[in-house]
Structure 1
Amino acid sequence: MPGPSTVPRDPDWWKSAVVYQIYPRSFQDSDGDGIGDLRGIIERLDHLGELGVDVVWLSPIYPSPQADNGYDISDYEDVDPMFGSLADLHELIEGLHARGMKLVMDLVVNHTSDEHPWFRESRSSRDNPKRDWYWWRDPRPGHEPGTPGAEPSNWEASFSGPAWTFDEATGQYYLHLFSPAQPDLNWENPEVRAAVHAMMERWIERGVDGFRMDVINMISKDVAADGSLPDVPVSGGSALGDPSPHTVNGPRIHEFLHEMHERVLAGRRLLTVAEAPGATVTDARLYTDPARREVDMVFTFEHVNLDIAPGGSKWDLAPLRLTDLKANLSAWQEGLAEAGWNSLYWNNHDQPRIVSRWGSEGRHRVESAKSLATVLHLMRGTPYVYQGEEVGMTNAHFTQVGQYRDIESVNWAAEALERGIPEEMVVRSLAVKSRDNARTPVQWDASPQAGFTTGTPWLAVNPNHDTINAEAARRDPGSVFHHYRRLIELRHGLDVVVHGDYRLLLPDDEQVFAYVRAADGARLLVVANLSDEEAVVDLGPDGALLDGDLLLTTHPDAERGSGPEVRLAPWESRVHLTDAG
C-alpha cells in the first residue's frame, strides 16, 4: 500500500481490527465426542492466521448445564470439561498471542444458571445473605401461588412463557428474562456488581484481551417506587406482554457500565462490545462516546430485524428491501460519525447464514457472499466474521422440526404447532431464521462429518460440505476465503477504510449499494449489485472515482468502462481507490 494510506498506530487498536467469532461446540472437535473444544481451536489457529484476523471472540466455555448452550453459566471461574481445561485455555491464549491475535471472552452477567452457587444460596431461604442477589417477589395478591396469573408481573420471557418461576421452598417467584434455568442477577445490589468486577479482573490477569457483554443493556430494570416490576400492555388476547420498556436500556444502565469501566477496564488496551438489543443510534452514541467511558462499541439489531413482517416476531417472514437496509446501515454510519463506534456484522451464533438469508446461495453463492462482505467490511466500524462465513457456509436446510436443537427454535415450534400453524410453515420459518442455521459444524473438508469430528456431531453437518469447505476454499484463489482475506488486508493497510467519512450514493436504488469513504485526500468507492439481475447505474460526479485503482472485485475480467455510468453483473462488486498522496 502507498505510504500516505497506511493506517497509523492508534491507541484504539480495535478500530483497524477484525474480530472472528468462534462458537466452540461447533468449531472443531479434537477428541471424537462430537462437540467442539479448546484443543480443536488450537489445532485450527493457522487457519485464522492465514485469514488475517486480529481478535478471536469465544462464545461461552464456562461450566454450564447447557440449558441454553452455555449461556446459562454455573461457574464463572472455570472451563466446562466438555471444552477442556484452564490449562487448555492458557495454551490457546498463548497460541493466539504468539500469532499477534487477541482473545475476547463472553461476559454473561445479566443472568446465571439456576445451578450457580450464588443462586443456590439465594433460593435456600428468604434470609440468606445472597437472597437479594436475584429478583425475588411475592405472588400477585388474590391469586393462588404457582398458578397462571399469580406471577408478580405479566412479563413474557424471551424463550416463551412467563418471565417468573415460582419457588415452592420459599414461596416466592424469581425473575428470568430468558429460560427458567437463567435467573436474572439483581444489579441494584452493589455486592453483585463487585463480584462481577472481581471475576472480570481475574480473567484479565489470565491474559484475556476484552469482553463481549451478553445482553448487557438488560442489567438495569425499571423498578417502581414500591419495588415492584410493573405490568406491561398485552395484545391479541395474550396474558403476557413484552417487558422491554422496563428491562432494556434501563434507568441505571449508564451508571453501571461507567462504574465497570472505571473499576475494571480503564487504562487497559482491551476491546469491549456490548450486545444491546433494542438500542437505537441515540442509545449507542451514549454507550460508545469515549468521553463517557463505558464501552467501545455495541451490536445493533435494527438491520437484522428488517426482514420481519410488520408487527410480527422474528419467525414472521418478510422480504428484505435493499433501500431499507441501506437507509438503516447509513443511519448508523452517520449517527456515530462524530462520537462513538460501529460494530459491523451479518452473522453470529444467533443469526442465520447471510448468504442464504440475503444473498443468492445457488448459482451466485460465491459472488453474493463476496459482495455482501465487501459492502459491510469497508464501512466505518469494527467488522466481525462468524466461523464459516469466510468460506460462504449456508443455512442447514433441515426438513423436520425434530432436527433442531436450539431452545428458542424448539419452544417456538411447539407453541406454533399447538396454535394450529401448519407444520410446513413452521419448518419453513425455522429453515430461514433458526439459530441452529449458524450452529452446524464448521465445514473444514469434504470428508465424513466435514473434518469436524471423528464421532457423531452434536448437530448434523450440512450435506453441502462436500463442495463448500475450508480446504477447497484455501486452494481456490477466487474463493470467498481469499476475498475475506483481501478485505482484511485493506482494513489493515488503508487509513481511509478505518477513519474515512461515509457518504451513501443511490439511496433509492433497489439493486445497488454504493458509497464513498474519504480521508486526507483519499477516496474509496464501493459499488455492489446485490441482486440476481444485471444493474446499470449512473454515479454522477462520483463516477470519476471508477478511474481510480481497482483494489478488489468479484468479476476481475469484467469490462470497466468509463464515465459516470457503470454496468454490473449479478452480484458484482468493485472497490476503487483514488489517493491524492
Structure 2
Amino acid sequence: MDKKWWKESVVYQIYPRSFKDSNGDGIGDLQGIISKLDYLNHLGVDVVWLCPVYQSPNDDNGYDISNYQSIMNDFGTLSDWEELLAGLHSRGMKLIMDLVVNHSSDEHAWFVESRKSQDNPYRDYYIWSPGKDGQPPNDWGSFFSGSAWEYDEKSEEYYLHLFSRKQPDLNWDNPKLRKEIYDMMTWWLDKGIDGFRMDVINLISKVPGLPSVSGESNGEQPTYHFGGDYFVNGPRVHEYMQEMNREVLSKYDIMTVGEAVNVTPEEASLYVSEDRNELNMVFHFELMDVDSGPGGKWNVQPWKLADIKSIISKWQVALDGKGWNSLYMNNHDQPRMLSRFGDDKLFPKESGKMLATLLHTLQGTPYIYQGEEIGMTNVQFASIDDYKDIEIVNMYKEYLAAGHSEEKIMNSIYIKGRDNGRTPMQWNSESQAGFTTGTPWLAVNPNYQDINVENALADPDSIFYYYKKLIELRKQHEIIVYGSYTILAEENEQVYAYLRTLGEEQLLVVLNFFGEPATFDLPSTVKFQAKELLISNYEVNPEEELNTIQLRPYEARVYKLK
C-alpha cells in the first residue's frame, strides 16, 4: 500500500461561524481561528478543514457562494485568510478548503447573467427548462424540501436547485464552466492550500433529458422524489472527476475528500481507487443513516450495534488495499456523536473516549469536528424560533402543515437537527462560553459552564487529553494507520472488537458500546506471545489476562500484540 501524508494525518474540521469571534459581532471569524491555532497545535492535529469562508449571501451558511475568490465580510478579508494559512503552515499544520461546485449562489455573477435572458452567453452555466404544461419539468425533490425546480418570471423558465432555491445547480456538461472551475481551483492551490473537501461532488452529473422519477408528474399536487438514479453518481461524473484530476489535482501534492451522497463501497471505490486518478477518499453517509427509519432522516429509530459493526466492517474490507476510508461520526451537518452514539448524561467522559477510540483505530483518516474533543453535546432549544438551519426550518413548516404534532417534530430536531453541531464552540465558563463578547448568531448550549476547553485543559483525565494521546499513538504505531481490519466476536451484542494486522504485529481493539458491564471472550484463533496496553479509558491492570475481559460501562481498550 502506498504511504501518503494524508493517510497518516488527523483532520480537524472548523465551522468558522461558530468557532471563535474576534470582534464581538456574534459571528466567528478568521482572526478568531488565528487566535486558537496554538490550541489546535496542542491537540496535535495535522490538517484543518475550513468550512466555506467565501463571499456568500449566507442562505445556507456559506454553502451558497457568490464569489469563489473573495472572503465573506463576516469572516474578514483575504489578508486575514493569508495570515491563517501562514499561521497553520508555520506550526506544521495544513489547510484544506471546502469546494462547493455542484451549485453556486443565485447572487453569483454567472447566475445573475444567466437569468437575464434565454440567449445570454451564461445561460448554459446552469440547468434551465421550459417545464411542461405550466409545471416543473420533472418530479425531482430538493434535499431541503419541495420541488427541485424554481420558476424564474423574468426569463420564463425553470432552473434546477437540488438544495435551496438560492443554490442553482451548475451545468457541468458545459466545458466552459468546467474550465472556469478548474482555473478557480488552481488559483487557490497556487496560494498554497493543501487540498479540498468537495461538497456533494457526486451530484455534478445529471441524467440527460431530465426524466421524472415516477414516470409522469401527477397533476395538481406533485409528489417530489429524491431521484437517486437521476442525479447521484450520474453518467459523466467519473469523466469529470478524472478531468479535474488531470487538469488540476494531479499537479499538486494535496489531499482530496469528496462528500458522496448515497454511495456504496463499490461505487466509492470508483472515486478513490488509486489507479483511477479521481479522489483520495469520500465521505459516505451509510453510518450516518443508521438511526433513520423508512421515512428518512427525521423518522428517527434507535440504532443497533449490529448495524454499526456491519456498516463499518463492510467499508473497511471493501476499500482495504484499493482506496482509503474517511472516519467520522459527526460534522456540521450531523448531530453531536456523544449524544447520538454515547451517553451524554451518565457516562459522557467514558462514552466520549470510547467513540474516539473507535474512530482513531480503524483504517482511514480520522476527522475531528470542533468541540468533539471536549465532549460537546446536542442542544434542546425551547422554540423553533431559536433554530437557524434552513433544513430544520423548512422541515418544521412542512411537517406541521402535514399534521405532525409539534412535540414530535421538535423531538426529531433535538436528535437529528444540524444546529446541534453548529452551536458556538465552548471555550470557557464566562458569558457566551467565551465565544463572543456580543450576542452569538446561534445560542450557546447552556451546558457550557461544565463542558468547555478551559475545564478540559485543567483536567488530566479529560476527553481532550485522551484525543491527544490517540493522535500521538497514530504517529508512533504504523499499524494504526496501515494495518488491515478483521472483526471479532461479531455476534456479541454489546461489544465491538476487531484486530488490525500489519506484518507480524496485531492491534486488538475492544469497545463496550453500552452503559452496562459486558464480557468479551478472545477467540482462540488470536495467538500472541506478548501484549502491551496502548490506551484505555479506565484504569486497567496491564498484566490482566485477555482470554475473558470484563468490561465496565463504555470501556475501551487497545492492545498491541506480538
TM-score by shorter chain over 0.5: yes
Q: In the alignment, what sits opposite 1:256? A: 240
Gap change, CA 1:505 and 1:205, over 3 Å in 2: same
Contact kept in structure 2, 1:53 and 1:488, CA below 8 Å: yes
SS in 2 for 1:314: strand
Identity %: 50
> How far, CA to CA, are the matches of 2:82 and 2:214 in structure 1?
46
Q: In the alignment, what sits opposite 2:250? A: 266
How far residue 506 of structure 1 moved from its aligned partner, in angstroms, is 1.3
**Aligned counterpart for 2:485 among listed residues 497, 502, 520:** 502
How far residue 243 of structure 1 moved from its aligned partner, in angstroms, is 1.8
1:117 and 2:109 matched: yes
Residue by residue, what CA displacement relative to the aligned partner does 1:512-535 show, whole Å, maximum 9, x if unpaired?
Answer: 010000112111100010101000
Contact kept in structure 1, 2:117 and 2:155, CA below 8 Å: yes
> How far, CA to CA, are the matches of 1:369 and 1:231 in structure 2?
42
Contact kept in structure 2, 1:547 and 1:562, CA below 8 Å: no
> How far, CA to CA, are the matches of 2:276 and 2:202 in structure 1?
16
Q: In the alignment, what sits opposite 1:230? A: 212
1:242 and 2:234 matched: no
- Give the letter aligned to residue 203 of structure 1: W
How far residue 547 of structure 1 moved from its aligned partner, in angstroms, is 5.6
> How far, CA to CA, are the matches of 2:467 and 2:274 in structure 1?
29
- Give the letter aligned to residue 107 of structure 1: L
1:12 and 2:1 matched: no
> How far, CA to CA, are the matches of 2:389 and 2:130 in structure 1?
32
1:187 and 2:172 matched: yes
Gap change, CA 1:238 and 1:136, over 3 Å in 2: closer
How far residue 245 of structure 1 moved from its aligned partner, in angstroms, is 1.3
> How far, CA to CA, are the matches of 1:337 and 1:528 in structure 2?
22
Contact kept in structure 2, 1:233 and 1:241, CA below 8 Å: no
Residue by residue, what CA displacement relative to the aligned partner does 1:10-50 show, whole Å, maximum 9, x if unpaired?
Answer: 75210100000000000000000000000000000011001
Contact kept in structure 1, 2:139 and 2:217, CA below 8 Å: no
Q: In the alignment, what sits opposite 1:369? A: 352
Q: In the alignment, what sits opposite 1:199? A: 184
Q: How does 1:153-192 map to 2 (within 5 A)?
A: 153-192=138-177
1:343 and 2:326 matched: yes
Gap change, CA 1:542 and 1:444, over 3 Å in 2: farther
SS in 2 for 1:552: strand
Q: In the alignment, what sits opposite 2:416? A: 433
**Aligned counterpart for 2:317 among listed residues 315, 329, 334:** 334
> How far, CA to CA, are the matches of 2:66 and 2:227 in structure 1?
25
How far residue 558 of structure 1 moved from its aligned partner, in angstroms, is 5.9
> How far, CA to CA, are the matches of 2:124 and 2:523 in structure 1?
63
Residue by residue, what CA displacement relative to the aligned partner does 1:444-503 show, whole Å, maximum 9, x if unpaired?
Answer: 111110110000000010111101111111111111001111111111111101111100
> How far, CA to CA, are the matches of 2:29 and 2:199 in structure 1?
21
SS in 1 for 2:71: coil
- Give the letter aligned to residue 209 of structure 1: D
- Give the letter aligned to residue 72 of structure 1: D
> How far, CA to CA, are the matches of 2:46 and 2:214 in structure 1?
44
Which runs of no fewer than 5 residues in structure 2 stay unpaired?
Answer: none
Q: In the alignment, what sits opposite 2:513? A: 530
Gap change, CA 1:566 and 1:58, over 3 Å in 2: same
Q: In the alignment, what sits opposite 1:147? A: none
> How far, CA to CA, are the matches of 1:542 and 1:386 in structure 2?
37
Contact kept in structure 1, 2:263 and 2:284, CA below 8 Å: yes
Contact kept in structure 2, 1:545 and 1:576, CA below 8 Å: no
> How far, CA to CA, are the matches of 2:9 and 2:339 in structure 1?
26
Gap change, CA 1:546 and 1:556, over 3 Å in 2: farther
Contact kept in structure 1, 2:479 and 2:505, CA below 8 Å: yes
SS in 1 for 2:538: coil
1:216 and 2:207 matched: no
- Give the letter aligned to residue 406 of structure 1: D
Gap change, CA 1:559 and 1:548, over 3 Å in 2: closer
TM-score, length-normalised on structure 1? 0.94
1:492 and 2:479 matched: no
> How far, CA to CA, are the matches of 2:96 and 2:412 in structure 1?
32
Gap change, CA 1:465 and 1:234, over 3 Å in 2: farther
- Give the letter aligned to residue 141 of structure 2: E
- Give the letter aligned to residue 320 of structure 1: W
Gap change, CA 1:307 and 1:396, over 3 Å in 2: same
Q: In the alignment, what sits opposite 1:84? A: 76
Gap change, CA 1:395 and 1:547, over 3 Å in 2: farther
Count the aligned residue pairs. Answer: 560
Residue by residue, what CA displacement relative to the aligned partner does 1:216-270 show, whole Å, maximum 9, x if unpaired?
Answer: 000000113xxx4434369998622222210000011100000000100114210
Q: How does 1:67-146 map to 2 (within 5 A)?
A: 67-140=59-132, 143-144=133-134
Q: In the alignment, what sits opposite 1:60? A: 52
- Give the letter aligned to residue 247 of structure 2: R
- Give the letter aligned to residue 518 of structure 2: A
RMSD: 1.7
> How far, CA to CA, are the matches of 2:349 and 2:217 in structure 1?
43
Residue by residue, what CA displacement relative to the aligned partner does 1:374-412 show, whole Å, maximum 9, x if unpaired?
Answer: 012110000000000000100012232221110000000
How far residue 157 of structure 1 moved from its aligned partner, in angstroms, is 0.6
Contact kept in structure 1, 2:18 and 2:425, CA below 8 Å: yes
Gap change, CA 1:103 and 1:417, over 3 Å in 2: same
Contact kept in structure 2, 1:542 and 1:564, CA below 8 Å: no
Runs of 4+ in 1 over 4 A off after TM superposition: 233-238, 542-547, 557-560
Residue by residue, what CA displacement relative to the aligned partner does 1:73-122 show, whole Å, maximum 9, x if unpaired?
Answer: 00000001100000000000000000100000000000000000000011
Gap change, CA 1:415 and 1:333, over 3 Å in 2: same
Gap change, CA 1:448 and 1:179, over 3 Å in 2: same
Contact kept in structure 1, 2:363 and 2:480, CA below 8 Å: yes
1:568 and 2:551 matched: yes
Residue by residue, what CA displacement relative to the aligned partner does 1:185-233 show, whole Å, maximum 9, x if unpaired?
Answer: 0000001100000000000111111000000000000113xxx443436
1:288 and 2:280 matched: no
> How far, CA to CA, are the matches of 1:553 and 1:234 in structure 2?
57
> How far, CA to CA, are the matches of 1:564 and 1:393 in structure 2?
36
- Give the letter aligned to residue 56 of structure 1: V
Contact kept in structure 1, 2:532 and 2:542, CA below 8 Å: no
SS in 2 for 1:503: strand
How far residue 563 of structure 1 moved from its aligned partner, in angstroms, is 4.3
Q: In the alignment, what sits opposite 1:357? A: 340
Q: In the alignment, what sits opposite 1:302? A: 286
> How far, CA to CA, are the matches of 2:287 and 2:534 in structure 1?
27
1:473 and 2:456 matched: yes
Gap change, CA 1:523 and 1:11, over 3 Å in 2: closer
Gap change, CA 1:170 and 1:238, over 3 Å in 2: closer
TM-score, length-normalised on structure 2? 0.97
Gap change, CA 1:41 and 1:546, over 3 Å in 2: farther
How far residue 139 of structure 1 moved from its aligned partner, in angstroms, is 2.1
SS in 1 for 2:473: helix
Contact kept in structure 1, 2:488 and 2:523, CA below 8 Å: no
> How far, CA to CA, are the matches of 1:527 and 1:392 in structure 2?
21
Contact kept in structure 2, 1:441 and 1:460, CA below 8 Å: yes
- Give the letter aligned to residue 552 of structure 1: I
Gap change, CA 1:556 and 1:542, over 3 Å in 2: farther
